[in-house]
Amino acid sequence: WETALRHIVEAGIDRHSYIIAVGGGAFLDVAGFAAATAHRSIRLLRIPTTTLSQADSGVGVKNGINFMGRKNYLGTFAVAWATLDDFLFLHSQPLSLKRAGLAEVVKVAVVKDASFFNWLEANASALAGCERDALEYAVEHSALLHASHIACGGDAFELGSSRPLDFGHWAAHYMETMSGYTLGHAEAVSVGMCLDILYSVRKGWLPAAEAERIVSVLKTLELPVFHPLLSRRTEDGACEVLKGLEAFREHLGGHLTVLMLTGIGRGKDVHEIDAALMEECIREMQEAAGDSVQE
């Protein structure tokens, strides 16, 4: 962030200027934070280059950087002057990075648009191969769903306590922190979604058959459905990832509010989490993955 601000100062950029930021989500966050704070705000044009940023973060109103070991602790809400999704950038990524970003595409489908999920399910093999037409449609539709929620959802700047677009993110964000940010956001979100999907099933909210469909799509896309960090314990034997619930609550403020699923395309806000049941879900995921490794 300081480096970005230094470039702004050295270039003599003023409030009638435009900053054009070209890159992935983390880069756009840094550039966006610098643009929002220099001269109290400079107009920003975002050009996201990755699947993840084109489908999700690049069209949002948030920017954030990690600070003092906390995910997105510093940042602002700042509406970009414009966002340009150029598919030439999308197709220039390595296959693994191109495919990983589809985690956020699946996420917005399962919380917002059942018909879009049906399309993802029917085209999962084409998406796994990142076939051009399928990938472009998925990214465009995801971006529109994210933008529509932000513009029309009634809480663009998160003044309330509900964040439906952050489904699966309470665990994902904390796993990223636990890993020292070596675990990618997309991979963490995929695992976090699987945890909350299973919890929703075990609470009787989500039919098991619908959960199996979602997890099957994630597997077809070669996204992870478990990570050993979920099973890591603190020195006193507590499940470490559960600390992410309080971190999630604190970041937004107010009461804990976590979205769980009642069906594909339907969710409900819950304000209490049964920690013992969540640990059971983690053990079940670990057994299903055949992974007994503990970090």
Alpha-carbon distance values, 223 to 55, 84, 274 (Å)? 16, 27, 27
146 with 253, same domain: the answer is yes
Task: Give me the pLDDT at residue 157, please.
Answer: 82
Q: How far is CA 265 from CA 56, 106, 218, 260, 273, in A?
A: 17, 11, 16, 11, 21
> Contact 49/93 with Cβ under 8 angstroms?
yes
Distance in angstroms (rounded) separating the CA atoms of residues 264 and 48: 28
Q: What is the CATH number of the domain that holds 193?
A: 1.20.1090.10
**CATH label of the domain that carries residue 13:** 3.40.50.1970
- CA 81, CA 126: separation in Å to the nearest integer? 34
pLDDT of residue 214: 98
Instruction: Tell me the two tokens of residue 7.
Output: 């470039």
Same domain (yes/no): 169, 234 = yes
pLDDT at 251: 83
Q: What is the pLDDT of residue 292?
A: 39
Domain enclosing residue 77, as ranges: 1-93
CB contact at 8 A, 97 and 51: yes
Among 184, 138, 189, which Cα is nearest to 165's? 189
Q: Distances in Å between the alpha carbon of 188 and those of 172, 183, 192, 234?
A: 5, 7, 6, 20
Query: Does residue 60 share a domain with residue 10?
Result: yes
Final residue before a domain boundary, out of 58, 93, 128: 93
Per-residue pLDDT of the chain (295 residues; tens, 9 = 90+): 789 999 999 999 999 999 999 999 999 999 999 999 999 999 999 999 999 999 998 898 999 998 988 888 999 999 999 999 999 999 999 999 999 999 999 999 999 999 999 999 999 999 999 999 999 999 999 999 999 999 888 888 887 777 889 999 999 999 999 999 999 999 999 999 999 999 999 999 999 999 999 999 999 999 999 999 999 999 999 999 999 999 999 888 788 999 999 999 999 999 999 999 999 999 999 999 984 344 4
Same domain, 180 and 101: yes
Q: Do 130 and 99 form a contact (C-beta atoms < 8 A)? A: yes
Cβ neighbourhood burial of 13 (10 Å; 0-12, 13-18, 19+): middle
Residue carrying structure tokens 């945890």: 195
Q: 141 and 282: one domain?
A: yes
Q: What is the pLDDT of residue 68?
A: 87
